[in-house]
Amino acid sequence: METLLDLWAGYGSTVTFASVNAFFALSTYAVLSTGVLSFTTVVFAAVGGFLSAQMAGKFGVPLWAAFPMAALGGGFAAAVVAGAFLRLESHWMALASLALVLITRVTALNTPLLTGGVNGLIVPLRVEPLELALLLALCALVFWRLHRSWYGLAARAVREDAAVASTMGISPYRVQFAAFLISGVVGGLGGAALAFTLQFISPETYFIGIAFTMIASTVLGGSFHWLGPIVGAAVFTALPTAMQAIVPQIEDVAKGVVLLLIMIFLPRGLIDPRAWGLRRAARLREENERRQQAAERDAHA
């Protein structure tokens, strides 16, 4: 028991940050699963984070009410962004969303009334790791249901080929719009989770760093299954800690090298439903062959 507590004291924060990053990764996955590469999760996180922090700080809103507000705020921001951006082609979309992240920081810096400006905001509430885990589990449940629903099927179709999907009567615009709303809600939750974990946020909190962490987590874990982003976030968050334990001098370099190796050798990510399918098919084929050979031997005898 003692060792368990020690372990928690040492690595508890890693677990907490892994779950926060899992929200961001899930939010990225939500749009990526319909074929849109977007960095706007950072924007939704900033909206959710600052909104919930201000609600808690200025109006004394309790934790259980602050999270839904953050989700709503993120969702609303997502609706606005989707309306403006969905007309763009995929490359432009990625560039535009990156530009929006840059703009968000400048806006946050210059609206001290809402965000505290350069000085940032102190957040009076704290979220417990268990509560965070429950919220993440709830999100995962929703993603699991979505994956198996009509929407999940439509999303995969749009991702593979939007033109084909639209000939099947699926509107790519509506599916991608829905994906943005989901991304906004989850991103807003993640932003609030980050605010209540750090207990201090500033415009620098929601910037390029998060954008690259979430994209790396999603692709690392696998962007073809909802479990991928969660696993990816855990791995990507644990990497620096692990590297610090092994090679403290060059932890950043080692983190980059590991990311590079995983990407080169497992380009579809750690969780890859197609690889499972291929493996199952190979096993079935082997079994069939064995059965056939046995049947032939029986026939000869």
Partner 1 sequence: MQLFVEQLINGWALGSLYALFGIGFGLVFSTLGILNAAHGTYASWAAIAGYYAVDRFGVPFPVAVAAGVVGGGLLAVVVDQIGFQPLRAKKTGMLGALITSIAFWIILDSLAGFATGQQSLAFPATSYPNQMVVLGPLRVPQMQIITILALLVCTVGIYLLIQKTRIGAAMRAVGWNEVAAALGGVNARMVILLTAFLAGATSGLAGVLGGISTSNVSFTLGEGLMLKGFAAVVVGGYDDVRGTAIAGICLGVIEVFVAQYISTSFRDGFTYLLLLAFLIARPRGLFGSANFVRA
**Eight-state DSSP code of residue 118:** G
The tokens 């249901």 sit on which residue? 145
What is the spatial distance between Cα 71 and Cα 226, in angstroms, rounded to a whole number? Answer: 19
Residue 60: what residue type? G
Rounded least distance, CB 274 to partner 1, Å: 13
Q: Which of 5, 103, 281, 295 binds partner 1 (CB under 8 A)?
A: 103
CB 164 within 8 A of CB 35: no
Q: In Å, how far from its chain's centre is CA 150?
A: 22
Rounded least distance, CB 262 to partner 1, Å: 9
Q: Which of 88, 198, 242, 275 binds partner 1 (CB under 8 A)?
A: 88
- Our finding on whether 94 is near partner 1 (CB under 8 A) is yes
CB 141 within 8 A of CB 195: no
User: Closer to partner 1 at the Cβ: 103 or 246?
Assistant: 103
- Our finding on whether 212 is near partner 1 (CB under 8 A) is yes
Q: Which of 61, 63, 96, 178 binds partner 1 (CB under 8 A)?
A: 96
Interface characters, 257-276, with partner 1 (x: CB under 8 A)? x-xx--xx--xx--------
Residue by residue, DSSP assigns 11-65 as: HHHHHHHHHHHHHHHHHHHHHHTTT----THHHHHHHHHHHHHHHHHHH---HHH
The tokens 């791995």 sit on which residue? 235
- Our finding on whether 98 is near partner 1 (CB under 8 A) is yes
Residues contacting residue 145 through CB under 8 Å, at least 6 positions apart: none
Q: Which of 158, 219, 230, 270 binds partner 1 (CB under 8 A)?
A: 219
What is the spatial distance between Cα 162 and Cα 160, in angstroms, rounded to a whole number? Answer: 7
What is the footprint of partner 1 within residues 16-35 (CB under 8 A)? 32
Q: Which of 26, 30, 220, 270 binds partner 1 (CB under 8 A)?
A: 220
Number of residues that bind partner 1 (CB under 8 A): 39
List residues binding partner 1 (CB under 8 A). 32, 37, 84-85, 88-92, 94-96, 98-100, 102-103, 106-107, 109-110, 212, 215-216, 219-220, 223, 250, 252-253, 255-257, 259-260, 263-264, 267-268
